[in-house]
Amino acid sequence: AQTVTQSQPEMSVQEAETVTLSCTYDTSENNYYLFWYKQPPSRQMILVIRQEAYKQQNATENRFSVNFQKAAKSFSLKISDSQLGDTAMYFCAFLRGNNDMRFGAGTRLTVKP
Partner 1 sequence: SQTIHQWPATLVQPVGSPLSLECTVEGTSNPNLYWYRQAAGRGLQLLFYSVGIGQISSEVPQNLSASRPQDRQFILSSKKLLLSDSGFYLCAYRDRGFYEQYFGPGTRLTVT
CB nearer to partner 1: give 42 or 113: 42
104 binding partner 1? (CB under 8 A): yes
Cα–Cα distances in Å, from 34 out to 25, 57, 88? 9, 13, 19
70 binding partner 1? (CB under 8 A): no
CB nearer to partner 1: give 85 or 113: 85
Amino acid at 2: Q
How far, rounded to the nearest angstrom, does the alpha carbon of residue 44 sit from its chain's CA centroid? 16
Q: Is 8 helix (H, G, I), strand (E, B) or coil?
A: coil
Q: What distance in Å separates the CA atoms of residue 35 and residue 47, rounded to the nearest whole number?
A: 7
- List the one residue from 8, 22, 50, 65 that touches partner 1 (CB under 8 A): 50
Q: Which parts of this chain interact with partner 1 (CB under 8 A)?
A: 4, 33, 35, 37, 42-47, 50, 52, 91, 95, 98-106
